[in-house]
């Protein structure tokens, strides 16, 4: 069995506490201190240590007939924070890129839900992200990964039109039925685009269940996990998960790093096992076509959009945000446009999620708000200041136009000579 390991790396720009009294008074929306603090914490616990281990594993097998390979998708917001707060993390990812055994995927720069509301913004963010990946890692992504693996037929057709060779999606049971996620598929609307599906059962064994002492398979050893993989069938075992699994979601004392360190050795005991990047997996012929009308994602047990669109607060905030897109862009104010785009990051709407909130679940992880309602109010206050700034720019432009008309009327020759 081949193995395709893909990691999502993302950090949002977290907002400051922004009250109604700040509207029109301050345009400092994002909590620089909090973002820096969290980045330093995760860099130490996860990014630097895991990257170092990945580099060791790549180099260990570099001159053998077996190769250790991995794929990453790193959001533009995470890359900016690496550059600003933790350049050593960026350098460690660049060292991985230089090995030739690491592939970087394409996604929306701001980890947004723009595919649901604005195809123009969706494409712009994808293009921005491609430029960033080329600039930092000298790679041109060939495979696309949408925010939170959000996917359906229509999206597949759009991504195929952008020239990508493959797209990632959740291997949800209600989509696959009797089929296995370990094979390559296509979507009905995009016959040229390979559909690569996450094996959520084995992925989640690492990402969510690894440290659970109540789990019947605890403790999960590299030997046991390799046996599960090599006992299965298909093109590839696709292990897709958040990179923060290592050291952050699953702490060091769970044994997660020892598990990762020994997993390749255990897998390579099977002479037919090899690691693939996502592009290499996409070279396999599709075995079947999937017809996926409704959006699916890799979030929560429902694997739908309810983590971001499950209540009136989320729907209202999202609608109002994209309603001002046209006006924001017509200002041509780079700072305003960038601030607005930072608001499109999906995390802001995830913080507004009310399902299971009282159970202390994953929706509270890294959530800076005490309640979803507090998150909504904070977001809307900032959005109202965005609207206030738009109005000021429009009014300023209208005043300038009126002044221009007066000057043309008074002395058109002088104006033309300026």
pLDDT per residue as tens digits for the range 246-270: 999 999 999 999 999 999 999 999 9
User: Rounded mean pLDDT of 58-79?
Assistant: 95
Mean per-residue pLDDT over the chain, rounded: 93
Handedness of CA 321, 339, 143, 243 (dihedral sign): negative
Say what the pLDDT of residue 401 is: 63
User: Could you give the CA distance from residue 2 to residue 183 in angstroms, rounded to a whole number?
Assistant: 11
Range 2-290 classified under CATH 3.40.50.300: no
- Beta carbons within 8 Å of 352's beta carbon, 6+ residues apart: 311, 313, 314, 317, 372, 375, 376, 379
User: Could you give the CA distance from residue 320 to residue 316 in angstroms, rounded to a whole number?
Assistant: 6
pLDDT surpasses 70 at 2: yes
User: Rounded mean pLDDT of 69-77?
Assistant: 98
CB 309 within 8 A of CB 315: yes
Encode 254-294 in three state secondary structure: HCHHHHHHHHHHHHCCCCCCCEECHHHHCCCCCCEEECCCC
* Cross-strand bridge partners of residue 288: 185
User: Rounded mean pLDDT of 272-287?
Assistant: 97
Say what the pLDDT of residue 157 is: 98
Alpha-carbon Rg for the chain in angstroms: 23
User: Rounded mean pLDDT of 304-316?
Assistant: 94
- Beta carbons within 8 Å of 273's beta carbon, 6+ residues apart: 1, 2, 3, 229, 230, 267
The sheet that has 185-187: what strands, in order across it? 143-144, 166-170, 190-198, 185-187, 288-290
Say what the pLDDT of residue 410 is: 56
Handedness of CA 274, 279, 280, 285 (dihedral sign): positive
User: Rounded mean pLDDT of 220-244?
Assistant: 96
Give the strand pairing for 2-9 and 236-242. parallel
CB 14 within 8 A of CB 31: yes
294 or 63: whose pLDDT is higher? 294
Say what the pLDDT of residue 402 is: 66
CB 99 within 8 A of CB 59: yes
Between the alpha carbon of residue 370 and those of residues 51, 257, 286, 377, the distances in Å are: 33, 32, 46, 12
pLDDT surpasses 70 at 364: no
User: Could you give the CA distance from residue 399 to residue 85 in angstroms, rounded to a whole number?
Assistant: 41
User: Could you give the CA distance from residue 163 to residue 353 in angstroms, rounded to a whole number?
Assistant: 34
User: Could you give the CA distance from residue 388 to residue 368 in angstroms, rounded to a whole number?
Assistant: 25
Q: What is the pLDDT of residues 392-417, one digit of tens each?
A: 998 888 766 666 455 545 554 433 34
Q: What is the pLDDT of residues 95-148, one digit of tens each?
A: 999 999 999 999 999 999 999 999 999 999 999 999 999 999 999 999 999 999
Active site residues: 148
Domain boundaries defined on the chain: 2-290, 307-410
* Percentages of the chain per state (helix, strand, coil), in multiples of 5: 50, 15, 35
Provide the CA 181 distance to its chain's centre, in angstroms: 21
Between the alpha carbon of residue 258 and those of residues 3, 52, 247, 280, 290, the distances in Å are: 19, 13, 11, 27, 38
What one-character DSSP code corresponds to residue 344? Answer: T
Q: What is the dihedral of CA 243, 244, 250, 252, to 10 degrees?
A: 90
User: Could you give the CA distance from residue 144 to residue 33 in angstroms, rounded to a whole number?
Assistant: 32
User: Could you give the CA distance from residue 134 to residue 146 in angstroms, rounded to a whole number?
Assistant: 18
pLDDT surpasses 70 at 361: no
Say what the pLDDT of residue 299 is: 86
Question: Which bin fits 24, alpha (ψ -120 to 50), beta or left (φ > 0)?
Answer: left
Give the burial class of 399: count Cβ atoms within 10 A of its Cβ; 0-12 exposed, 13-18 middle, 19 or more buried.
exposed
* Cross-strand bridge partners of residue 15: 30
For residue 182, the tally of other CB atoms under 10 A from its CB is 21
Q: Which of 30, 97, 6 is nearest to 279 (CA)?
A: 6
Half-sphere exposure of 5 (CA within 13 A, CB side): 19
Between the alpha carbon of residue 29 and those of residues 121, 337, 374, the distances in Å are: 21, 13, 15
- Beta carbons within 8 Å of 154's beta carbon, 6+ residues apart: 189
């Amino acid at each position: 069995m081949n193995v395709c390991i893909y990691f999502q790396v993302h950090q949002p720009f977290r907002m400051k506490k922004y009250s109604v009294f700040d509207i029109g008074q301050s345009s400092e929306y994002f909590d620089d201190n909090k973002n820096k603090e969290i980045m330093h914490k995760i860099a130490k616990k996860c990014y630097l240590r895991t990257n170092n281990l990945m580099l060791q594993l790549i180099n260990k097998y570099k001159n053998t007939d077996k190769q250790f390979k991995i794929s990453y998708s790193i959001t533009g917001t995470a890359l900016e924070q690496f550059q600003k707060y933790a350049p050593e993390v960026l350098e460690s990812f660049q060292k991985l890129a230089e090995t030739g055994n690491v592939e970087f995927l394409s996604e929306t720069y701001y980890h947004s839900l723009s595919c649901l509301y604005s195809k123009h913004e969706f494409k712009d963010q994808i293009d921005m992200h491609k430029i960033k990946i080329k600039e930092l890692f000298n790679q041109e992504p060939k495979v696309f990964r949408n925010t939170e693996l959000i996917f359906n037929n229509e999206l597949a057709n759009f991504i195929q039109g952008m020239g990508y060779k493959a797209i990632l999606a959740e291997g949800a049971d209600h989509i696959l039925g009797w089929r296995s996620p370990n094979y390559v598929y296509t979507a009905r609307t995009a016959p040229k685009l390979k559909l690569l599906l996450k094996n959520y059962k084995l992925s989640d064994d690492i990402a969510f269940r690894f440290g659970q002492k109540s789990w019947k398979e605890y403790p999960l050893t590299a030997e046991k996990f390799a046996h599960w993989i090599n006992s299965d069938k298909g093109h590839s075992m696709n292990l897709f998960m958040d990179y923060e699994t290592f050291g952050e979601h699953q702490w060091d004392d769970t044994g997660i790093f020892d598990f990762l360190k020994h997993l390749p050795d255990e897998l390579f005991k099977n002479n037919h096992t090899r690691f693939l990047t996502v592009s290499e997996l996409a070279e396999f012929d599709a075995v079947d076509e999937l017809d996926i009308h409704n959006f699916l994602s890799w979030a929560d047990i429902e694997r739908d959009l309810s983590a971001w669109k499950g209540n009136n607060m989320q729907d209202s905030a999202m609608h109002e945000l994209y309603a001002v897109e046209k006006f924001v862009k017509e200002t041509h104010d780079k700072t305003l446009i960038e601030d607005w785009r930072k608001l499109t990051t999906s995390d802001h709407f995830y913080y507004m999620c009310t399902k299971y909130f009282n159970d202390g679940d994953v929706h509270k992880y890294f959530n800076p708000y005490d309640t979803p309602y507090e998150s909504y109010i904070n977001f809307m206050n900032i959005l109202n200041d965005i609207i206030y700034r738009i109005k000021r720019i429009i009014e300023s432009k209208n005043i300038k136009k009126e002044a221009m008309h007066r000057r043309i009327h008074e002395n058109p020759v002088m104006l033309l000579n300026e």
